[in-house]
A and B are shown apart, each in its own frame.
Chain A
Amino acid sequence: MGMTITEKIMARNSGRDHVVPGQLVWTDVHTVMTMDYLGKTCFDKFRSLGKTEVFDKDKVICVSDHLVPPPNQKFATMLNEWREVVKQHDITNFYDLGRQGIAHQIMVEQGHVLPGTISIGTDSHANTYGAAGAVGNAIGVTDAAVAMATGKAWFRVPKSVKFNITGKWQPWVMAKDLSLHIMGMMHWNGHLLYKALEFTGPAIESLSMAGRMTLCNMTVDLGAKNGIIAPDKITERYLKGRTSDAWDMISSDEDAEYDQVYNIDISDLGPTIALPGKLDDTVSVEKLIGTKFNKAFVGTCTNGRLEDFAIMAKIMKGKQVHRDVNMILVPASQTVYLEALRAGYLETLIEAGAAVDTPSCAACAGIHTGVAGDGDVVLSAGNRNMTGRMGSKNAEIYLTSPSVVAASSIKGEITDPRTFDV
């Protein structure tokens, strides 16, 4: 019997010819990532295992993203301790303030994720790495410490679920809309617990790397183990110049076995919004036309990429953000920031009245730049909308795509970008 891409990757990296769902295996990890607020604990735990040198100095990726630039003394001190410990272990790839970005963006953008391999990170959205044809998995600091010492992690091989996506993308409709649509369809943390989600079909083959990252990113919010898209020409083009490691075009076998297969035709898929409180409470934009909000936020590991700012600049060029709306944009990395600057997107957006902040996780984790206060209604292109997520428990968060945020921010109320006069 054949194997799915996730099973193949688990087999290949555990030195086996074959694995079956449910099997527990120790696999090699290609890279292990940790960030500022958990990283010191990872290294402390790592040393407590009796090791002084990590398994590979090039393969432990350290990123400052949650706490930078430090908004208070507590975070500043934590960052100092973090820098000290990274230095002490002579880590090659340290993306500190100035070269930083959100860890998941850095991992893919800087070529630390390779098709056919497994990369792990101490943050839930490590599922993002599936966009590059890898198994990306979120783990805790204990697993990170063990992987730093041994280059290995344990996994239970998940059952796979296939999402076959067909049809043509409507204008202004983005991967985020598909993510939210699937969230509504499958229910948040409902039927997909522990599953490997594989996205295939013509609408995926035409999807950009940025869109693939968005789609895989939010699989963790479905309760899935990982989300993955088999590498193809788009992956190949993207990885060229980002990594010199060898990789191959791994894909699922024809006769691979799936727990479930879903066919989704996106021809009728419009802009989609998750209502405040729950990710799976999704509606199409038409249902919310005219809803007022006072904060707009685009950034995060879900939607802070060049493509996201490009589409916003297209919509917002020559227009002004509504006077009742504060718009905050946070590029996902310094590279994205610079590219968006050079392409003129940020100029357009700043002229329109948007505030741009230093790349970081920003207000998404509710502990940094642009947090929500009492009474705020936020229209966000981030990934989570539960009560209190961006700060105040008395704030509401609507989740949607950057194109909806852009069009809506001009009008000062939720707007369908398809009917917006660009």
Chain B
Amino acid sequence: MIKGKCWVADDYVMAYDIIIQEYWTSAIDPDENSKWVMAGVKEEFNKENAFKDKGYTFIVAAHNFAGGGKSIEHVITGLRGAGIEAVFATSFARLQFRNATNYGLPFVTCDDIDKGCETGDELEYNPESGIIKNITKGTSFQSVPAAPFVAEISEAGGLMNYVREKIAKGEPIE
């Protein structure tokens, strides 16, 4: 069970606004990337640690979160480093859905979640049942549960750990 405050994003939060151009060539590092995460999304976040300092645990978004065709993983490490433990949206862009899966950061698809939350609401997420409770509003949402493979990666702490373990044990990857 994960509990914390949420930040509600607009539609179409683009990957290249989550991490703006000048940081694309930075090292992929949660501490580094989280300093300027969301800098292009809202002017208020365009200050060092501005988003991170808000202390959000969840992001709630609508259609095509982290879209716009950028495959850089700084997006995911930036969110992680800022303390984000899950993102709920009506849909996600595939490049970043993939990266999130690989880092074990739940990108959870949930219809209408964007309409049921306001920034600052206290949410509680149960990864097993997929139920997202809005404690502030006293409502709840059923999200799409993670596919077994995605859950397995998450449990291993990300794809790197998952594959590292398989290699160490000499197990096939299939």
Contact = CB atoms under 8 A, between A and B. Distances in A.
Interface in A73-106: 74-75, 78
Nearest to B26: A37
Contacts of B173: 26, 150, 152
B95 A50 contact: no
Nearest to B158: A142
B27 interface: yes
Nearest to A141: B73
Contacts of B102: 140, 142-143
Nearest to B166: A150
A220 interface: yes
A413 B70 CA distance: 32
Nearest to A24: B149
Contacts of A420: none
B21 A143 contact: no
Contacts of A26: 173-174
A350 interface: no
Contacts of A141: 28, 73
Contact of B71 (A37, A139, A389): A139
Interface in A109-155: 122-125, 138-143, 145-146, 149-150, 152, 154
Given A41-B27, A50-B167, A154-B149, A140 B71 contact: yes
B16 interface: yes
B62 interface: no
A49 B174 contact: no
B164 A189 contact: no
A48 interface: yes
B95 A124 contact: yes
Contacts of B92: 193
A223 interface: yes
A288 interface: no
Contacts of A150: 163, 167, 173
B141 interface: no
B1 interface: no
A386 B98 contact: no
Per CB-CB distance, the 8 closest pairs between chain A and chain B, nearest first, are A124-B69, A140-B73, A142-B102, A189-B67, A24-B149, A140-B99, A138-B71, A220-B69
14 contacts: A49-B160, A50-B164, A50-B168, A51-B167, A124-B70, A138-B95, A143-B98, A154-B159, A189-B67, A193-B67, A223-B64, A367-B21, A386-B68, A388-B40
Interface of A: 15, 24, 26, 37-38, 41, 45, 48-51, 66-67, 74-75, 78, 122-125, 138-143, 145-146, 149-150, 152, 154, 156, 189-190, 193-194, 220-221, 223, 225, 365-367, 384, 386, 388-389
Interface of B: 12, 14, 16, 20-21, 24-25, 27-28, 40, 64, 67-73, 91-95, 98-99, 102-103, 147, 149-150, 158-160, 163-164, 167-168, 173-174
